[in-house]
Amino acid sequence: MKIFKNKRILITGGAGFIGSHLTKKLVEYNSKVTVIVKYKSIIDCPRLTNIWDKIKIIEADLRNFDSVNAIKNLSFDYIFHLAAYNHVGDSFTHVNESMQSNLISTINLLNHGPSYNKFINIASSEIYGFQKKIPFSTNEIPHPMSPYGLGKYSSELYARLKSKQNKKNNIICLRPFNTFGPYQSEKAIIPEIIIKSLLNKNIETTLGNQTREFNYVDNIVDGILLSSKKINFFDEPFNIGSNNPIKIKDLVKKIHNLTNSKSKLKIGAKKYRPNEIWKMQAENKFIINKVGWKPVVNFNQGLTNTIQWYKKFLKVYYNKNSSFNNLI
């Protein structure tokens, strides 16, 4: 995208899963990319290894006022805010950390951080929680069912409040749905099942009757970038998702078959998590019709790409001395 050539861009959470893919894409577009990462998280981080010489790194803790205040004199054309505590299940036992990372970091960044022309706040489909209407529409009131979802929704509400206060209409809030692809932490379901399948380890799941949609990471990155081009035209959040759901048990069986695994499937061996959301899929007419986005890589191709990547890196991934063990 020519619009990003030579643009000064800041990416928070740039060493994370989606953030690293976004960083690489913007480097391809010849943007002047600066990445904020948590202290020490860049050490041995494999996601950005091949582009270290093409980006600038700022080590900062966005939860800390002084840390953010130290970079307030910087200025960017775009800030993509992806830094977050991003594990839904773990957020139930790490409530304070989840809220600090997802809400306080956003407040600090918007009030005390660098200046910007455009600010893109990345929320999550988890903010919707339980909804009677499927697929999930941004017209519906979110009811987060996890500390993670609550933190993300609170972050979005504050970003929208800030947008109305500054009256510049230069902040946009996006809600990407479940994402997968290379370099994702095995705490996420798709890499977890792929790795266990390839290693022929037993796979234990819930009954798997909940449905989710899964979007290949390249598609989500494209959605983020296309949306940022339209930032001055919309003051409401919108979804990035395929609206192509699959039951979790069918997903597990699909990965098991694609990997020719000898793993023993134990579907129903685990309990559902507290406040389980049974259906989650995106109403995506807005981003398709108004932004011009559509998934380029379909689910099956994305899953094949991801399996091939994990096959290639499996030995490294499970080397106890490997930096892959630090993926978050």
**Portion of the chain with pLDDT greater than 70, in percent:** 93
Q: Which domains does the chain have, with CATH numbers?
A: 2-178+216-241+281-297 (3.40.50.720)
Q: How far is CA 74 from CA 2, 66, 204, 213, in A?
A: 23, 15, 48, 38
Does residue 202 carry a pLDDT above 60?
yes
The whole-chain average pLDDT of the chain stands at: 91
Q: What is the structure's pLDDT at 80? A: 98
Does residue 274 carry a pLDDT above 80?
no
The winner for highest mean pLDDT among 36-40, 88-92, 264-268 is 264-268
Q: What is the pLDDT of residues 89-119, one digit of tens each?
A: 788 888 888 898 899 999 999 999 999 999 9
- For residue 283, the number of C-alpha atoms closer than 13 Å in the C-beta half-sphere is 13
Q: What is the pLDDT of residues 186-200, one digit of tens each?
A: 889 999 999 999 999
**What average pLDDT does the segment 200-209 reach?**
96
Tokens of 59: 């080590």
Tokens of 50: 């091949």
Does residue 43 carry a pLDDT above 60?
no
Q: What is the pLDDT of residues 236-254, one digit of tens each?
A: 899 999 999 999 999 999 9
- For residue 269, the number of C-alpha atoms closer than 13 Å in the C-beta half-sphere is 8
Tokens of 18: 């989606």
Residue 143: CB atoms within 10 A of its CB come to: 15
Does residue 50 carry a pLDDT above 60?
yes
Angle between helices 299-317 and 189-198 (to 10 degrees): 60
Does residue 41 carry a pLDDT above 80?
no
Q: What is the structure's pLDDT at 141? A: 94
